[in-house]
Each structure stands twice: as structure tokens, then as C-alpha cells.
């Protein structure tokens, strides 16, 4: 589309990610929806949830997080076994048939936890490392087979890859301690994923720009990480923040579950899903910094930013100022699935605005579907 003269010409300019043509730069940031069934299969409700957003004018929906290990908690949609491919194929086929949005799967693995115990990266055995690598490789292959247009490796927040990348990774077996050691797992995962999906299949990654915890990664480390990832050949880098276990506050979940400390209860959690008391676009500077770092190193890797970007005007300014290449939206799309369509048609006033009350996040913490309390249709 020629977007010249449009009010939001940057937002609606197409972009190519390793040959995958997105019609615009508005993507649904991964949003654990809670609509899978107890076996981790897609349900009509889940399909409808994403379809409404895909039809709402997005360039791409990133489904997630999609579990790739065999553990059953938390209740996520899954690609941890071949048995899930069929349902996922029906899901992607529907998105492709009824919208012109692309669909990507965010692949997640996490460390074990119990009621009073959380595994750290330093506790992982060599066998577990090999298993985890396999999860990513098989998960990516299944996503490709199921018709996803792309995969995103979840390397942000408090999960496995972020834990390898963390300064708290003190492993002495080559998978930690030094910068190269901390990068080793993600390098091997990416190489093996790339090997199975082939050179033309888009593989992105989500990382933290800043962990927002004491002794966590800051831009000082993440600049090096982003540059290395671009050099490795990742097809996009999505920049998130926080969401760590180290400062999580305990909650008593309403549902029976062994997960009393979701990584979204402390300050770092708030940085991940910035509430109304934080400024608009509060994390954009992280994406802008990493994008600048990558560009200066000679890489054109597209960068996604997300976090409290409420209205098209703010999103357009972020793109115009060269702070990011794509805009990720999560809570604004829970509130209004047609955010992008209304922006494209310059019907800004019709956009139902997210209040960033984080009621959806509370719901997620308690293991319930994370819909918006103000959007009765979900």
C-alpha cells in the first residue's frame, strides 16, 4: 500500500521480515490468553480471540506464549508434542483464510518451580540443557509444520533463555559466567532452530532491554546481546523489559496451582506491563538504544517495541523518530481488537482506550483468561 499522505503513514507502511511481508507495522505482542484447554490445545474461544484481532487490521499476531516443554503448568497453548500440530494447523489456516494478518508463535520454556522452590539457571543439569535445546528445535519445527508464518524465541523476562543471558548466570560449564558463556545456549538454540526451519523462515527473538532488578542486565549488557543476536542472523528483535522472578511478590492464586510467585508481581513486573502510573511509551528508549546499537554495527534487523503505547499518534511518533520498526500492542488490543483498523481509517476517536488498570494482568496471575474487564466481547 502507498501510505503517503495517510495520517499514520509510517504505521501503515509495509515491512518485510526475512521475506515475510507484513502489511503494516502494528503487531499483537504475545499475550498469554488463557483460552487453551487443559491439554494445551486450541479451543474455538482461543481461535476467535486471535481472529478478531487479526481481522482488526494487524500486520501480524504473535501468539503466546506457546509451551514447548512437556510440563503442564501453567496452562498454556502447546506445541510440546506432535499431537498439537493438528489443532494449531486449523488455527493458522483460519487466520490465513479470514484475514491478511500474519501469524507467529512465541516459543517458551521455563525453569521448574514448586510451592516453596524455584530452580535457578545454576541448578540445571547438562541433560536438562540438552532437553531444553530440543524443546526449542522441535517446537519451531512443529510451528512451521502447523502453518505459522514465523516463530519468536522467548528470551525475555524470567524464563530459560533470559536466565542464561542474566548476569546471575554463574555456571562454570561454558554456559555462563562470561558474556560468551551466557550467550552459548541461545546461540546453540538459534543455530539448531535455523538448521531445521531453513534460511527463509523468519525467526525472531524477544529479549529484555533492561531486567530492572538489582544485579540484572541493563543496557550495558543488552547492547552486546542485541548486537550478537543481529550478527547471528535473527530476523527481528523484540525489546521488552523486566518481568523477573527475583523481585516477584507472592500471590495466593485463586486456582489450584504450584506457582505462588509469577514473575510479574514486583517492580520489574510493572516495567514489563507498565501501569497507568507510569509514563506513556516508558520502555521505548530501550528499543531505540538497541536499534541504534544494531544499526551502528551495520545490521538492519527490525526492532519491535512495546509497553504503554496507547494511541496511534504515539505509535507513529515512535516510528517517525526511528526508535523502532514495529509497534507491539497487548493490552490496547485486549480492550479494542480493532485498534489498527480504526487507526488506518483515521477513526481515532472510535478507539476504545486501555486504562492500563492491569486487571487483565491480575487475571493472568490467578490463572484465569486474561481478557479486559471493559471488553465484554473479549
Active site residues: 159
At closest approach, how far in Å is the CB of 80 from ligand FMN? 15
Nearest to ligand FMN of 95, 162 (CB atom): 162
CA-CA distance, 44 to 99, in Å (whole number)?
17
**Quick check: 69 binds ligand FMN (CB under 6 A)?**
no
CA-CA distance, 187 to 199, in Å (whole number)?
16
Residues in region 220-279 near ligand FMN by CB under 6 A? 240, 272-273
Nearest to ligand FMN of 86, 353 (CB atom): 353
CA-CA distance, 320 to 271, in Å (whole number)?
24
Nearest to ligand FMN of 233, 369 (CB atom): 369
At closest approach, how far in Å is the CB of 314 from ligand FMN? 11
**Quick check: 332 binds ligand FMN (CB under 6 A)?**
yes
Judged by CB under 6 A, the number of residues near ligand FMN is 25
At closest approach, how far in Å is the CB of 331 from ligand FMN? 3
Segment near ligand FMN (CB under 6 A); pick from 29-37, 135-143, 184-192, 196-204: 29-37
Of 330, 287, 334, which is closest to residue 309 (Cα–Cα)?
A: 330
191: Cβ–Cβ under 8 A, 6 or more apart, which residues? 232
At closest approach, how far in Å is the CB of 48 from ligand FMN? 17
**Quick check: 27 binds ligand FMN (CB under 6 A)?**
no
If you ran DSSP here, which 8-state letter would residue 14 be given?
A: -
Contact 108, 79 (CB under 8 A): no
Cα-Cα-Cα-Cα dihedral of 218, 208, 137, 191, to 10°?
-50
**Quick check: 361 binds ligand FMN (CB under 6 A)?**
yes
Residues in region 167-206 near ligand FMN by CB under 6 A? 206
Residue 72, classed as helix, strand or coil, is coil
**Candidate residues 304, 329, 340, 372; the one interacting with ligand FMN per rule CB under 6 A:** 329
Residue 95, classed as helix, strand or coil, is helix
**Quick check: 330 binds ligand FMN (CB under 6 A)?**
yes
**Candidate residues 226, 360, 367, 372; the one interacting with ligand FMN per rule CB under 6 A:** 360
Task: Locate the DSSP E strands across the chain.
Answer: 15-17, 20-22, 26-28, 60-67, 77-78, 102-108, 150-155, 203-208, 236-240, 303-306, 326-329
**Quick check: 335 binds ligand FMN (CB under 6 A)?**
no
Nearest to ligand FMN of 190, 270 (CB atom): 270
**Quick check: 74 binds ligand FMN (CB under 6 A)?**
no
Which residues are 106's β-sheet partners? 152
**Quick check: 308 binds ligand FMN (CB under 6 A)?**
yes
Of 152, 231, 162, which is closest to residue 193 (Cα–Cα)?
A: 152
Nearest to ligand FMN of 87, 307 (CB atom): 307
Residue 273, classed as helix, strand or coil, is coil
**Quick check: 64 binds ligand FMN (CB under 6 A)?**
yes
**Quick check: 160 binds ligand FMN (CB under 6 A)?**
no
Of 326, 329, 319, 374, which is closest to residue 352 (Cα–Cα)?
A: 374
Long-range contacts of 255-263 (CB under 8 A, 24+ apart): 255/366, 255/367, 255/368, 257/73, 257/74, 257/367, 258/73, 258/113, 258/114, 258/115, 259/73, 259/74, 259/113, 259/367, 260/115, 261/113, 261/118, 262/364, 262/365, 263/157, 263/158, 263/159
Nearest to ligand FMN of 222, 330 (CB atom): 330
**Quick check: 25 binds ligand FMN (CB under 6 A)?**
no
**Quick check: 367 binds ligand FMN (CB under 6 A)?**
no
Residues in region 278-307 near ligand FMN by CB under 6 A? 306-307
Chain positions contacting ligand FMN, by CB under 6 A: 29-32, 64-65, 106, 154, 156, 206, 240, 272-273, 306-308, 328-332, 360-361, 364, 370
Amino acid at each position: 500500500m502507498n501510505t503517503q499522505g495517510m495520517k499514520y503513514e509510517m504505521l501503515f507502511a509495509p515491512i518485510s521480515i526475512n521475506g515475510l511481508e507484513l502489511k503494516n507495522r502494528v503487531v499483537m505482542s504475545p499475550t498469554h490468553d488463557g483460552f487453551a484447554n487443559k491439554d494445551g490445545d486450541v479451543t474455538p474461544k482461543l481461535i476467535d480471540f486471535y481472529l478478531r484481532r487479526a481481522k482488526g487490521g494487524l500486520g501480524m499476531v504473535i501468539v503466546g506464549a506457546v509451551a514447548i516443554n512437556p510440563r503442564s503448568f501453567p496452562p498454556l497453548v502447546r506445541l510440546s508434542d506432535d499431537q498439537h500440530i493438528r489443532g494449531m494447523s486449523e488455527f493458522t489456516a483460519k487466520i490465513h483464510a479470514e484475514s491478511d494478518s500474519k501469524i507467529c508463535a512465541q516459543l517458551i520454556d521455563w525453569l521448574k518451580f514448586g510451592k516453596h522452590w524455584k530452580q535457578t539457571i545454576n541448578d540445571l543439569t547438562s541433560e536438562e540443557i540438552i532437553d531444553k535445546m530440543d524443546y526449542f528445535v522441535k517446537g519451531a519445527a512443529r510451528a512451521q509444520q502447523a502453518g505459522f508464518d514465523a516463530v519468536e524465541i522467548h528470551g525475555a523476562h524470567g524464563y530459560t533463555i533470559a536466565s542464561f543471558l542474566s548476569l546471575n548466570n554463574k555456571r562454570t560449564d561454558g554456559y555462563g559466567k562470561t558474556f560468551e558463556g551466557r550467550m552459548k545456549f541461545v546461540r546453540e538454540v538459534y543455530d539448531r532452530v535455523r538448521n531445521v526451519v531453513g534460511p527463509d523462515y523468519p525467526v525472531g527473538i524477544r529479549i529484555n532491554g533492561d531486567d530492572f532488578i538489582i544485579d540484572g542486565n541493563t543496557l550495558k549488557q543488552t547492547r552486546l546481546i542485541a548486537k550478537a543476536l543481529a550478527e547471528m542472523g535473527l530476523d527481528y528483535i523484540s525489546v521488552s523489559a523486566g518481568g523477573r522472578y527475583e523481585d516477584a511478590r507472592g500471590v495466593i492464586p485463586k486456582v489450584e496451582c504450584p506457582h505462588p510467585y509469577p514473575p510479574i508481581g514486583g517492580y520489574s513486573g510493572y516495567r514489563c506491563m507498565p501501569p497507568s502510573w507510569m509514563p506513556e511509551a516508558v520502555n521505548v528508549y530501550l528499543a531505540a538504544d538497541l536499534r541504534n546499537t544494531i544499526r551502528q554495527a551495520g545490521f538492519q534487523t527490525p526492532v519491535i517495541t512495546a509497553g504503554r503505547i496507547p494511541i496511534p499518534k504515539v505509535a507513529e511518533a515512535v516510528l517517525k523518530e526511528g526508535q523502532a520498526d514495529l509497534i507491539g500492542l497487548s493490552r490496547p488490543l485486549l480492550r479494542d481488537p480493532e485498534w489498527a483498523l480504526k487507526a488506518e481509517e483515521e477513526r481515532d476517536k472510535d478507539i476504545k482506550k486501555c486504562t492500563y488498570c492491569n486487571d487483565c494482568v491480575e487475571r493472568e496471575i490467578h490463572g484465569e483468561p486474561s481478557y479486559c474487564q471493559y471488553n465484554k466481547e473479549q
